[in-house]
Amino acid sequence: MKDLTFDKELVLDGEFKNGKKDDAGKDVIQRMIALYTQDDKRNVTARFTLTAPKLTISSPMASIQHGTFKGDLYVTAKDFQLVDTTVDGNVYFTTDDAKSTLEMDDKSKITGKQELKK
């Protein structure tokens, strides 16, 4: 893997099942942008940067993990997560639900503003 740069807007769209079932037997929905490599013990071995003017997250239960996104992030879906990730830009939420269900771990950060932009 290597750092990736795009000059066009990117969209993460669609509902994806990860092949697992929850306690009620329903399919687990999950979508991940993995900006890292790992070894056989799941230790992160390298991190990468994804650069684009705009990335729209429209997939439910999506996450960006273990890297950096440079650009503005637009979140339209609920339950979006940042895991050990830096967003070098602004995060705009298009719904109240998208904003209220954002989860970030203590290793993640957003360098710009976070605001609702309907």
Sign of CA dihedral 37, 39, 41, 43: negative
Query: Within its chain, how far is the Cα of 13 from the centroid?
Result: 12
pLDDT for 19: 82
pLDDT for 27: 85
DSSP-assigned letter for residue 26: P
Given its phi and psi angles, is residue 60 left (phi above 0), alpha (psi -120 to 50 degrees) or beta? beta
pLDDT for 70: 98
CB 43 within 8 A of CB 66: no
Residue 75 half-sphere exposure toward CB, CA atoms < 13 A: 28
- What domain count does the chain have? 1
pLDDT for 15: 84
Domain extent, residue 19, equals: 4-116
Interior CA angle at 92 toward 51 and 52, to 5°? 10
Size (the chain), residues: 118
Averaged pLDDT, groups of 10, the chain, 118 residues long: 94 87 85 94 96 97 97 97 98 96 97 94
pLDDT for 25: 85
DSSP-assigned letter for residue 45: E
